[in-house]
Amino acid sequence: MTISFSPILNQNDQFTQMAGIHRQLFDVAWSAASIAAMFEPKTAYRGSLVLDDDKIIGFIICSIVLDEAEIISMAIEKAFQQNGYGRLLLAYEIETLNKLAVKRLFLEVSEHNSAAQKLYTSMGFQRLAKRNNYYKQPDGTFADALVLSCDL
């Protein structure tokens, strides 16, 4: 098992694998086509992959505007969670964003996702705000989103 990181390229096989991971983890899953649309030329999106040998096991997608970025989605395949890959991927992306002169990184996380909240706060993110009823749950109820940011 060899773990490596790579930028997301405009390749359909990457988008198909990413959509499969997203489908495992999120109630409203993205299709390969919707992910591909983010990486068309002249968009403000970029991202990174974490790979086990040549298999994509996770990804992070950010949007960049001037010197600020927002994490749009971050996902690690279920079988690989709780092994530190999310932390490594986030650290890799932060390093990449630093090289792109990004000064501040934002994200939204469900109030119910305590594992993600723990990861983000351990890496220097602080709570800025709360968005009420932001995420629709499978049972039809809504969960609040916490808005976090980190100076890079």
One-letter amino acid for residue 38 of the chain: M
Respond yes or no: is residue 120 known to be catalytic.
yes
Whether the CB-CB separation of 29 and 56 falls below 8 Å is answered with no
Identified catalytic residue from 40, 120, 134, 135:
120
- Give me the DSSP letters along 58-120: EEEEEEEETTEEEEEEEEE-GGGTTSSHHHHHHHHHHHHHHHTT--EEEEEEETT-HHHHHHH
Active site residue 92: no
Residue of 92, 93, 108, 135 with catalytic role: 108
Catalytic annotation, residues: 108, 120
